Amino acid sequence: MPIALAPSNTEMTVRKISAEDKVKKHLQELGITVGGRITLLSSVGGNVIVVVKEGRLCLDRTIAGRILVS
């Protein structure tokens, strides 16, 4: 499921990032990698705030829709 539809405050595992290589590389630099852990804090209109490692990130709905978690 896309990260925007994940339950709030539950740690999930990133299963797939379906984006172009440039975007994938940028997400990796931010700490979002396949197999990594991510927690959804809030989702409003598809835009999300997530916790990755020790930091919080805000992702727009286009990027959030491409990050699949389980």
What is the overall mean pLDDT for the chain?
95
pLDDT at residue 32, as a whole number: 97
Q: What is the pLDDT of residues 20-53, one digit of tens each?
A: 999 999 999 999 999 999 999 999 988 999 999 9
CA distance 46 to 42: 10
Domains and CATH numbers, the chain: 3-69 (2.30.30.90)
Write out the chain in H/E/C secondary structure: CEHHHCCCCCEEEEEEECCCHHHHHHHHHHCCCCCCEEEEEEEECCEEEEEECCEEEEECHHHHCCEEEC
Q: Taking the mean position of all CA atoms in its chain, how far away is CA 43?
A: 11
What's the confidence (pLDDT) of residue 28? 96
